[in-house]
Amino acid sequence: MIRSTLEGIVLRVNPYRDSKVMLSILFKDGGKKSLSGPKKLGLDMGDLGNFEVTSSKGNETVTGITGLKSPRNVRTNYAALILLGSICEICERATEGSDSEDLFEVLKLGKTALSEAKKLKDLLKAYVLTISGIGVHLGISNGLEVPSKKTLLGLLDKIEEFIGKKLYSRPNVESLLDDLEHNSEGRN
Domain region containing 98? 72-187
Measuring CA to CA, which residue among 6, 10, 16 is closest to residue 39? Answer: 16
Answer whether residue 14 shows pLDDT above 90: yes
Q: Which of 17, 39, 69 is the last residue of a domain?
A: 69
Question: Do residues 89 and 155 both lie within one domain?
Answer: yes
Question: Do residues 77 and 168 both lie within one domain?
Answer: yes
Question: Do residues 86 and 14 both lie within one domain?
Answer: no
- The alpha carbon dihedral of 112, 117, 96, 158 has a sign of negative
Give tens-digit pLDDT for 121-178: 888 889 988 999 998 888 888 887 777 888 889 999 999 999 999 999 999 999 988 8
Q: How far is Cα 182 from Cα 180, in angstroms, rounded to an integer?
A: 5
Contact 62, 81 (CB under 8 A): no
Question: Do residues 57 and 137 both lie within one domain?
Answer: no
Q: Which of 69, 97, 112 is the last residue of a domain?
A: 69
Question: Do residues 61 and 76 both lie within one domain?
Answer: no
| Phi, psi (deg, nearest 5) at residue 59 | -100, 135
Q: How far is Cα 84 from Cα 45, in angstroms, rounded to an integer?
A: 8
Expressed in angstroms, the distance from the first to the final Cα of the chain is: 64
Q: Which of 69, 91, 115 is the last residue of a domain?
A: 69
Contact 30, 6 (CB under 8 A): yes
Question: Do residues 38 and 98 both lie within one domain?
Answer: no
Give tens-digit pLDDT for 20-53: 999 999 999 888 889 999 999 988 899 999 999 9
Mean pLDDT of 56-73: 84
Question: What's the domain count of the chain?
Answer: 2
pTM listed for this prediction: 0.87
Q: How far is Cα 26 from Cα 155, in angstroms, rounded to an integer?
A: 21
**CATH code of residue 57:** 2.40.50.140
- The alpha carbon dihedral of 117, 120, 122, 123 has a sign of positive
Question: Do residues 89 and 50 both lie within one domain?
Answer: no
Question: Do residues 168 and 119 both lie within one domain?
Answer: yes
